[in-house]
Amino acid sequence: MSIQEVSAEQLAELFHHYHQALGPDFGGASKPNAEAWGQMPQPERSRLVAAARLALLELASTAGEREDSRRYFAKPGQAEWGC
C-alpha cells in the first residue's frame, strides 16, 4: 500500500489505537478502559484526522522533492561511462 492509498481517517484511527496501546510502556497512565475511536468526542476525532491529513500532505510533498533530486542521476546499471 502506498502513501497515496492511505486515508487521513485510517491513519488517525491507527495512530490513536497505537497511542492508547503504548501509553503504559512509556510511563503513561494505565487505562484499562482506554477510549475507543468511536467513543471519542467528535471535535477530538476531527482534530486527529486533520493532523493526519497534514502529515500525509507533508510526506507526499517531501517524497516528490526526493524524486526531483534523483532525476539527474542514472539508475543503477544505466550510467554511460566515458566522455
**What sign does the CA torsion over 11, 12, 15, 16 have?**
negative
The whole-model pTM stands at 0.65
23-61, pLDDT tens digit by residue? 888 887 666 556 889 999 999 999 999 999 999 999 888
68 versus 52: which is more confidently predicted? Answer: 52
Q: Is 67 left (phi over 0), alpha (psi -120 to 50) or beta?
A: alpha
- Grouping H, G, I as helix, E, B as strand and the rest as coil, residue 38 is helix
Residue 4's pLDDT band, with cuts at 50, 70 and 90, is confident
Residue 31 has a pLDDT of: 63
Distance CA 51, CA 27 (A): 24
Task: Indicate the range of 6-20, 40-54, 60-74 predicted with least confidence.
Answer: 60-74
